[in-house]
Amino acid sequence: MADYPDYRRIADRIADDIAAGRLKPGERLPPQRAFARRRGIAGSTAGRVYAELVRRGLVVGEVGRGTFVRAAPEGPSGRALTEPSGSAPVNLELNYPCAPGQSELLAAGLAPLLRPDVLTEATRTAPANGTAAAREAGAGVLAVPGWRPAPDRFLFAGNARQAIAGALASLVRPGGRVGVEALTYPLVKEIAGRLGLTLVPLAMDGEGLLPEAVTVAHRAAPLSAVYVQPTLHNPTTVTMGSGRRAELARVLRELDLPVVEDRIWSFLEDGGVAPLAAYAPERVYVVDGLSKRVAPGLTVGFLVVPEGRGRDSHGLEAALRSGGWTAGRFALEAGVRWIGDGVVGRLVAAKRADAAARQGVVAEELGGFVVRGDARAYYAWWELPEPWRADTFVAEAARRGVAVTPGTAFSVPAAVAGAAPVPQRTAPGQHREAPPTPAQQQRRATCRPASRCVRLGLGSAPPEELAWALRVLADVARSGP
């Protein structure tokens, strides 16, 4: 690690060039060997520089194909659709939905907190288990048919990401293995890196995580926990059916594995299938929050402990406190008021309708392409036409003023080379796999390599900009690399 300061300083200089516009979105960086010679550094240091730039989200690329500057993360609002390329991009990477009239609704709920007597109490610190009012409000907002968490099982974090970090920190020791879907939430990869955990990719099909993949991975080398998104999986939008959830719960119970269930987008599903926690209530840690329901800037993360484990099971409260991940008292008080006066419910209804409308725009503008999207989701998974690859497509889209996320941002590399393959499913009494049905063929078709897919975030751009951006992307896809 002797060259650690050097590679960070070099990465800082490249980042400055990108921020200043000296390196533009879509511009290709030199090969690592050429970069090393030009800078007079070791090849290994050049590799660390490029890896650091990827970690910061400034570049994308794959070995052997080149490394490209990504589109800028933010663009000012009010972008004219007739502006030429090179102006601030339309951002389809971020996904922060905002309902019409949202600010006015939130302001009304905050007004009582600004009274001096109330503000004094609202600005005090709060413990990891929040307040009695916050626990009751959280239980109410997360309740769905077939599952209602008990208020005394609630802990609170600053947001859902911090709740995930707290859960994994308490469940898995450094060096431990965590099973995750082969395509997973990118920040889980960052959290695992910071905690010193190894992520193990688990095979998926068109209904989500394959339960037998958990068994195979655990037998190869014991897992300490599993992280899963059963509802509106990000990025594929897949939702597990009740049968798959029951089967997964059975496997987790047989292997005695705890599981972190991420339900941050589940509010977009009206009714639907009960959470995985309803099938294995004694081992599922549920993560949810208000960031997508309400707004990312003032939010609360929920962490619901399994039945019979107690609030401090596995040191959850200690993990949240030591990580600095507990929720602020003001955010808790604001959340309680927004839930109690119906603001959260109205925002949820508005965002469900908005997500459906935006998926309609995707269907209209990208008709003829293979785009996987649930009508309830704020994102879509695009399997790019040949010969496009995600890295070159992202770079070309950036040149045209649209920022999208390459599929590789969600992929998890195999933790163990040569790990045992996942067994194919067979009918009872068979020793060989039966010919796939059309439905099975369709499910398997969703497993195209992430290097040939991109995720489209639909929630942040205004509707007219979204339509324009999708038309640009369709034109890029048709034109070829």
Q: Give the DSSP letter string of 177-220.
A: EEEEESB--HHHHHHHHHHT-EEEEE-EETTEE-HHHHHHHHHH
Instruction: Give the separation between CA 54 and CA 61, rounded to whole angstroms.
Output: 8
> Residue 65: its pLDDT value, please?
62
- pLDDT at residue 251, as a whole number: 98
User: What tokens does 165 get?
Assistant: 């970090």
Distance CA 44, CA 49 (A): 9
* Of the candidates 114, 184, 154, 460, the residue with the CA atom closest to the CA atom of residue 277: 154
> Locate tokens 């905050």: which residue?
110
DSSP state of 167: H
Q: ∠ CA 442-443-445 to the nearest 5 degrees?
A: 65
Residue 353 CA to residue 313 CA, distance in Å, equals 39
Separation CA 351–CA 345 (nearest Å): 10
Looking at 3.90.1330.10, 3.90.1150.10, 1.10.3720.10, 3.40.640.10, the CATH number of the domain 102-341 comes to 3.40.640.10
- Which residues, other chains included, contact 319 with Cβ-Cβ below 8 Å and sequence gap of 6+? 166, 167, 169, 170, 325
> What residues contact residue 5 under an 8 Å CB cut-off, 6+ apart?
none
Q: What is the pLDDT at residue 7?
A: 80
Question: In one letter, which amino acid is 432?
Answer: R
The pLDDT of residue 372: 93
- Burial call 18-37: b when 16+ CB within 10 Å, e when fewer: beeeebebbbbbeebeebbe
pLDDT per residue, tens digit, the chain (481 aa), is 343 447 888 988 998 898 888 898 878 899 888 898 889 898 888 888 888 888 787 887 654 567 888 865 444 333 333 333 334 478 999 888 988 888 888 888 888 888 887 787 778 878 899 999 999 999 999 999 999 999 999 999 999 999 999 999 999 999 999 999 999 999 999 999 999 999 999 999 999 999 999 999 999 999 999 999 999 999 999 999 999 999 999 999 999 999 999 999 999 998 889 999 999 999 999 999 999 999 887 789 999 999 987 655 658 888 888 888 888 888 899 999 999 999 999 999 999 999 999 999 999 999 999 999 999 999 999 999 999 999 999 999 998 999 999 999 999 987 543 344 554 553 333 333 344 443 443 444 445 799 999 999 999 999 999 999 999 999 999 998 8
Which ranges of 196-328 does DSSP label H, i.e. alpha helix?
211-220, 242-255, 276-279, 316-322
CA–CA distances in Å: residue 242 to residues 86, 307, 473: 47, 20, 36
C-alpha to C-alpha distance for 209 and 134, rounded to whole angstroms: 33
Contact call for residues 415 and 177 (beta carbons, < 8 A): yes
Q: Which CATH architecture has domain 4-58?
A: Orthogonal Bundle (1.10)
Residues ≥6 apart with Cβ < 8 Å to 385: 369, 370, 477
- Break the chain into its structural domains and give their ranges: 4-58, 90-100+345-418+441-479, 102-341
Quote the CA–CA distance of 34 and 235 in Å, as a whole number: 35
The values of phi and psi at residue 402, to 5°, are -130, 130
CA–CA gap between residue 440 and residue 463 (Å, rounded)? 35
Strand residues in 314-434 grouped as ranges (E): 370-372, 379-383, 402-403, 405-406
Q: What is the pLDDT of residue 313?
A: 60
Nearest to 197 by CA among 180, 226, 177, 211: 177
**Is the four-CA dihedral 324, 141, 135, 306 of positive or negative sign?**
negative
Q: Which residues, in sequence order, are bridge partners of residue 225?
A: 178
Residue 248 identity? L
β-strands 154-157, 301-304 pairing:
antiparallel
SS (H, E, C) 385-407: CCCCCHHHHHHHHHHCCEECEEH
Architecture of domain 90-100+345-418+441-479: Alpha-Beta Complex (3.90)
Task: Assign 280 to helix, strand or coil.
Answer: coil
Buried b (16+ CB within 10 A) or exposed e, 201-222: bbbbbbbbbbbbbbbbbbeeee
Burial profile 101-114: b = 16 or more Cβ within 10 angstroms, e = fewer: ebeebbeebeeebe
pLDDT for res 150: 95
